[in-house]
Amino acid sequence: MANPNDRTVYRRDDGQWVNKLNNSNRASSIHDTQADANEAAATMLRNAGGGERTTMGRDGRIVSKDTIAPGHESRTRDREH
């Protein structure tokens, strides 16, 4: 079951990077770089009680998924971090 706090970071057609709550119609924040959008998403997730951040690459494919604390992620299954 998806957490209502989950967020996605993706690139718009104009080159800007978006941090968006998954169940929202509007972007939470817009950034010049992917790193800035990722950091904003992580901060918002920590403040909201945790969740999953999904980062999409320039080609629209998932490049990273990360559970932001206090989420409940198994360290034995997390091969990315």
Q: Are 40 and 28 in contact (CB under 8 A)?
A: yes
Backbone angles phi, psi at 75, to 5 degrees: -65, -30
In the chain, domain spans = 7-68
| For residue 59, pLDDT beyond 70 | yes
pLDDT tens figures, 11-40: 999 999 999 999 999 999 999 999 999 999
- Return the percent helix, strand and coil in the chain, to nearest 5: 20, 30, 50
pLDDT over 90 (residue 80): no
81, pLDDT greater than 60: no
Judged by DSSP in three states, 54 sits in: strand
